[in-house]
């Protein structure tokens, strides 16, 4: 897939409705597969708060929003106990990586994860961390194929998630 035509930037207030619509579409797509953890979608108010407190990114192909993801130096919810192999290092936490369902299967998700790793390295982070609905085996395999390692499970909001870590700097 050629990505030369894609524009990636931090989201601003003008992107909130489009990001919300993309997350809602992704949630409906997941729900059709039996995974309802993004249904209902995140609220507009929560997205606006994330714009102030976290780094929300948008990926556009011309005028079309095709993907989004959020990065932050702190997790949205604390991990207790911390399951990480590289404890005490600077990390970025990935949330809400979503690709427009009409564009899935075109390597956009993997491209976004490459971009996430590059942004983390630029920020001096030694790891990228996230969690994935444990029941979604295909999505877990997607992360694992890209070097993310399962570090355990955690539960919140009535769901069980597998906790993943991509170590960017080898442990010494």
pLDDT at 12: 96
Q: State the residue range of the domain holding 97.
A: 6-167
1 part of a folded domain? no
| Distance (Å, whole) CA 2 – CA 127 | 27
65 part of a folded domain? yes
Q: 0.85 exceeded by the pTM?
A: yes
80 part of a folded domain? yes
| Distance (Å, whole) CA 137 – CA 142 | 9
pLDDT at 4: 75
Q: In what order do the strands lie in the sheet with 6-10?
A: 6-10, 55-61, 64-72, 91-99, 127-133, 159-167, 149-156
85 part of a folded domain? yes
| Distance (Å, whole) CA 151 – CA 159 | 17
77 part of a folded domain? yes
84 part of a folded domain? yes
pLDDT at 73: 96
CATH number of the domain bearing residue 146: 3.40.630.30
54 part of a folded domain? yes
Question: What's the domain count of the chain?
Answer: 1
133 part of a folded domain? yes
Tens digit of pLDDT per residue, the chain (172 long)?
A: 567 789 999 999 999 999 999 999 999 999 999 999 998 888 999 999 999 999 999 999 999 999 999 999 999 999 988 999 878 899 999 999 999 999 999 999 999 999 999 999 999 999 999 999 999 999 999 999 999 999 999 998 899 999 999 999 755 4
């Amino acid at each position: 897939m050629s990505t030369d035509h894609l524009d990636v930037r931090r989201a601003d207030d003008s992107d909130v409705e489009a990001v919300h619509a993309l997350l809602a579409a992704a949630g409906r797509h997941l729900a059709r597969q039996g995974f309802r953890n993004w249904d209902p979608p995140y609220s507009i108010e929560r997205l606006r708060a994330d714009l102030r407190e976290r780094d929300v990114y948008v990926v556009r192909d011309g005028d079309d929003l095709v993907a989004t993801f959020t990065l932050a130096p702190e997790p949205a919810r604390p991990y207790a106990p911390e399951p990480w192999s590289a404890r005490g290092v600077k990390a970025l936490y990935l949330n809400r990586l979503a690709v427009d369902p009409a564009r899935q299967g075109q390597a956009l998700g993997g491209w976004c994860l490459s971009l996430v790793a590059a942004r983390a390295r630029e920020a001096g982070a030694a790891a990228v961390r996230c969690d994935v609905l444990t029941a979604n085996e295909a999505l877990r395999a997607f992360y694992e194929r890209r070097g993310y390692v399962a570090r355990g499970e955690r539960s919140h909001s009535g769901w069980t998630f597998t906790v993943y870590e991509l170590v960017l700097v080898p442990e010494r």
